[in-house]
Amino acid sequence: MNCENESLIEIKDLKIGFKTPEKILHAVKGISLEVRKREIVGIVGESGCGKTVTALSIMRLLPDNTIVTGNINFSGINLLSLKEDETREIRGRDISMVFQDSLSSLNPLMKVGRQIDENLMIHTSLDNRDRLSEVLDIMDKVGLPDPEQTYEKYPHELSGGMRQRIAISIAIVCNPDLIIADEPTTALDVTVQAQILELLRKINRESNSSIVFISHNLGVIREVCSKVYVMYAGHIVERAPAETLFTNPGHPYTMGLIKALPKLESKGKELFDIRGRVPSIADLTQGCPFEPRCDYSFERCKKEFPDLKKIDSDHEVRCFLAGGIL
Ligand SMILES: Nc1ncnc2c1ncn2[C@@H]1O[C@H](COP(=O)(O)OP(=O)(O)O)[C@@H](O)[C@H]1O
Ligand SMILES: [Mg+2]
């Protein structure tokens, strides 16, 4: 079988709700997505659309007041049915995550080298010497200068970019099948952002890891991903190969995200913004959640929720007009 086409993780009808004293608030409302081996898959959407809670549900890191239903099939096992100790075995070894804010995801009181080592200690039986050489190797691979010296540093002694390289080292040191990178470059300046993106591409090329790359920034998604899911208000509203998404976007929300991208020639001019804002998870609309912000909306959109419609073999859009006049 061609390994490029083999599925690694398949999410089916995932719903995530938060229990409150009055009711359950749904942050994710039945999403399905698939990541194949060695693929870099993007999830894009504005802040509050449910990207992070989706990632945390795969890692089983959501708080106790959460209700998660659906199926997350990872190499043949449903992650949602695992016990806590089984989850801990997989987390950090088979699936790992890089967060936006490495200052809060790293332990401020532990030397950074030790933090990479810790993951090896949990998941391998290597002895001290082998682990140390592995850690130094990884630090070198992710572009950290002078690994021996950097090993001894604490997170606050490193720059944001260096800290993110540490977080990436922790994530890759056990050679996981899947890396979930949640806005890994959002807190970094543009030059460092480009370096970290290149590093993630390199890791994907040189190891067998698939990557789920989460960002609110479609420009960044375009640079690294082969396939993209566009998320809006807890739903997948479009799925397409990255290039198709840009050349032939099918959903008005995707069109808005593309229009909002800063362009070289419009430097200094005011940026386009999609009017209105992402609905709160407490909002209960019957129709399309994007309707209040949509330039193409008509009566039906206020009352009915559109299905995902296939407009090409690998292109799906959740809009009544998709494949037609749009
Ligand atoms: N622990 C929680 N309890 C209640 N609501 C939450 C919790 N975590 C996230 N939410 C809500 O779920 C929605 C999706 O959040 P999130 O996944 O962080 O969005 P994104 O990552 O796309 O910006 C938001 O409205 C957020 O306020
Ligand atoms: Mg987020």
Q: Where are the domains of the chain?
A: 3-94+176-317
Q: Return the minimum-mean-pLDDT range out of 164-168, 268-272, 288-292.
A: 268-272
Task: Report percent pLDDT > 90 for the chain.
Answer: 90
264, pLDDT greater than 80? no
Beta-sheet strand order (sheet of 66-74): 24-36, 7-19, 66-74, 77-78
Q: Is residue 48 within 8 Å of 278, Cβ to Cβ?
A: yes
175, pLDDT greater than 80? yes
Q: Is residue 169 within 8 Å of 138, Cβ to Cβ?
A: yes
306 lines ligand 1 (CB under 6 A): no
Check residue 130 and report its DSSP letter: H
281 lines ligand 1 (CB under 6 A): yes
pTM: 0.95
290, pLDDT greater than 70? yes
> Residue 320 contacts by C-beta under 8 Å, 6 or more apart in sequence?
288, 298, 300, 301, 304, 306
Confidence bin at 1 (pLDDT 50/70/90): very low
- CA dist 6 to 127, 178, 219, 224, 316, Å? 34, 13, 27, 20, 20
Task: Work out the average pLDDT over 180-206.
Answer: 95
237, pLDDT greater than 80? yes
Please give the CATH topology (third level) of the domain spanning 3-94+176-317.
Rossmann fold (3.40.50)
C-alpha Rg value of the chain to the nearest Å? 21
218, pLDDT greater than 70? yes
- Testing ligand 1's pocket by substitution, the residue of 20, 43, 52, 235 carrying the most ligand atoms inside 8 A of its CB is 52
pLDDT digits (tens, 9 = 90+) for 52-109: 999 999 999 999 999 999 999 999 999 999 999 999 999 999 999 999 988 889 999 9
Alpha-carbon distance of 66 to 69, in angstroms, equals: 10
